Amino acid sequence: MTISKKGFGLAVIGSQWGDEGKGKIVHTLAEQSDLVVRFQGGHNAGHTVVTDGRKFKLHLVPSGVIAGKRSLIGAGVVIDPRALKREIEELAANGIRITPRVLGIDYRASIIMPWHPALDEAREKRGAMFGAAVAAAKKSAAGVIGTTKRGIGPAYEDRAARVGLVFADLIDATTLREKVFALHHYEQRVLHSLHCGLAESPERIYAEYATLGREFALFACDAASEASDAVSGGARVLFEGAQGTFLDVSFGTYPFVTSSNTIAGGACVGAGVPPRAITRVEGVAKAYTTRVGNGPFPTELFDAIGRHLQEKGAEIGTSTGRRRRCGWLDATMLRRAHQLNGFDGLHLTKLDVLDGLRELKIAVAHEVHGKQVREFPIGVRDALRARPVYETLRGFANVDWKKVVREGKKKGFGALPSEALAYVRRIEALAGVPVISVSVGPRREDIVFAKN
């Protein structure tokens, strides 16, 4: 796929529960873009890019930096300055130098403070009261949501309550001091009510964050204006999402969701651009399904096939280090994701992980309360009880994927084995979206496009 040379806004969105391989896709598309904008989430996200024999793990920094493209952290992102500093240092150690020319941070992006992870962990330990109703369904241990405990949710809560710090506060020492001392007292009382506390004093927090603010001050920008001006000026802008559609705070498997809007509409709000700036939306989906943390997962596998997917797919969270739950592809999820995002095309990743399985299954519907439904259940209780209705296809084995990649440069999908191509075509038909690329290896180069 080639990005238009005219003003163009492309949003890349995960169509499952995150971890679909968006980082590799965004990095590939970034090479044809002028600007990359991350529009939501925090360092709970994890994008892995393997290129030129090197592996990069990104959490806050947009994937465009690997391609050397101007990249922006939008107002809809929550930033942990400590985590951002570590990430920039790790990238520098691997030969990627992050300068204010490459990276910009919107003045309005929210800041994660030390009390936010503390609140996150305290609530998880107490059973996450918002998950109590789900615990009654006997399907989730103690009703815990399984957050990354990095303070993402509490930071978004403070933003909604209009008491949180934003990036402009971090780089203004006077405002930073006032807010740190006022909020530290309040948050400490909240933590005490949860039978825990914050060991760091306000003086210590202020001193560290004032230093971080001075270090990051040169990165400050009006990302919203820059992105809007870029699109209207004829540039090619890539909007990078984090997590996936089914972790959207409004439309995901609530309450087992993240705290921001991960769908395409969230790109306008998080980046600060008008809807017409998004001229194309592309989804990313694994050839199977994975999930990190608790919550419903109708097609989850606990057998040898599940272990095959987990081990061959190296299914360990980039951000959390936790093993991902694995299962068959769920077409009802892809249809719902298409409905919410309006995909123009779908990137299918990790097709090679299915190599060696005699049969492949796709959930085409679910049985809920004795009735068969073709849509993914909306209510979490129904989703927890759903029994998938599968369609079975022939598998494939011992494929020379390097040869597929070589031949794919000329033949496109014609280089795929017949069984693998049949699987891709069936996904297209069930999802109602054309598959525009297939990833068949961990490297950025291991992508076969439908049209070349």
Q: For 408-419, how does the pLDDT look when each residue is reduced to its tens digit (9 = 90+)?
A: 999 999 999 999
H helix runs in 217-261, sequence order: 223-232
Amino acid identity, position 428: E
CA pair distance 61, 37, nearest whole angstrom: 10
Report the relative pairing of strands 220-221 and 103-106 from DSSP bridges: parallel
Candidate list 19, 80, 158, 248, residue with the active-site label: 19
In 3D, which of 229, 423, 262 has the Cα closest to residue 340?
262
**Is 259 found in the same domain as 143?**
no
**Is 424 found in the same domain as 305?**
yes
CA pair distance 47, 327, nearest whole angstrom: 21
Q: Can you point out the beta strands (E) in 121-277? A: 220-221, 236-240
Cβ contact 9:240 at 8 Å: no
**Is 95 found in the same domain as 28?**
yes
Is 379 contained in some domain? yes
**Dihedral of alpha carbons 378, 379, 380, 383, sign:** negative
**Phi and psi at residue 328, in whole multiples of 5°?**
-70, 160
In 3D, which of 23, 448, 30 has the Cα closest to residue 10?
30
* 344 in catalytic set: no
Instruction: Give the domain CATH number at 425.
Output: 3.40.440.10
Report the relative pairing of strands 371-373 and 220-221 from DSSP bridges: unpaired
H helix runs in 95-151, sequence order: 115-125, 132-135
Cβ contact 13:338 at 8 Å: no
Mean pLDDT, the chain, as a whole number?
A: 91
**Is 121 found in the same domain as 94?**
no
**Is 323 found in the same domain as 247?**
yes
Is 3 contained in some domain? no
Give the model's pLDDT for residue 127.
62
Is 1 contained in some domain? no
Cβ contact 109:78 at 8 Å: yes
Is 50 contained in some domain? yes
- Domain of 266 in residue numbering reads as 8-108+221-449
**Is 254 found in the same domain as 312?**
yes
Predicted confidence (pLDDT) at residue 116 exceeds the cutoff of 50: yes
CA pair distance 186, 182, nearest whole angstrom: 7
Amino acid identity, position 297: F
**Is 21 found in the same domain as 118?**
no
Going by pLDDT thresholds of 50, 70 and 90, the confidence category of residue 49 is confident
From 163, 198, 220, give the residue that closes a domain: 220
**Is 98 found in the same domain as 114?**
no
Give the model's pLDDT for residue 146.
63
**Is 119 found in the same domain as 267?**
no
DSSP state of 41: B
Query: How many DSSP H helices and E strands does the chain contain?
Result: 15, 20
From 220, 248, 282, give the residue that closes a domain: 220
Give the model's pLDDT for residue 133.
46
Going by pLDDT thresholds of 50, 70 and 90, the confidence category of residue 435 is very high
SS3 172: coil
pTM of this structure = 0.91
Is 375 contained in some domain? yes
pLDDT tens, 190-200? Answer: 888 888 888 89
DSSP state of 101: T
**Is 293 found in the same domain as 327?**
yes
Predicted confidence (pLDDT) at residue 147 exceeds the cutoff of 70: no
pLDDT tens, 225-255? Answer: 999 999 999 999 999 999 999 999 999 999 9
In 3D, which of 43, 320, 100 has the Cα closest to residue 221?
100
**Is 26 found in the same domain as 97?**
yes
**Is 406 found in the same domain as 277?**
yes
SS3 349: strand
Task: Kindly state the percentage of the chain with pLDDT values over 70.
Answer: 92
From 167, 195, 220, give the residue that closes a domain: 220
Report the relative pairing of strands 387-396 and 289-291 from DSSP bridges: unpaired
Cβ contact 17:244 at 8 Å: yes
Backbone dihedral region of 36: left (phi > 0), alpha (psi from -120 to 50 degrees) or beta?
Answer: beta
In 3D, which of 278, 291, 359 has the Cα closest to residue 323?
291
Cis, bond preceding 202 (omega within 30 deg of 0): no
CA pair distance 72, 84, nearest whole angstrom: 13
* 308 in catalytic set: no
pLDDT tens, 71-94? Answer: 999 999 999 999 999 999 999 999
Predicted confidence (pLDDT) at residue 44 exceeds the cutoff of 90: no
Is 231 contained in some domain? yes
Average confidence (pLDDT) over 353-369? 97
Candidate list 27, 47, 338, 366, residue with the active-site label: 47
**178-186, long-range: CB within 8 Å, 24+ apart, which pairs?**
180/113, 180/205, 180/206, 180/209, 181/206, 183/113, 183/115, 184/115
The tally of domains found in the chain comes to 2
State the residue for tokens 């990302």. 223
Is 318 contained in some domain? yes
pLDDT tens, 293-324? Answer: 899 999 999 999 999 999 999 998 655 677 89
Structure tokens at 52: 């030129």
Is 121 contained in some domain? yes
Average confidence (pLDDT) over 117-134? 69
Instruction: Give the domain CATH number at 173.
Output: 1.10.300.10
Which residues have a Cβ under 8 Å from the Cβ of 52 and sit 6 or more positions away?
Answer: none
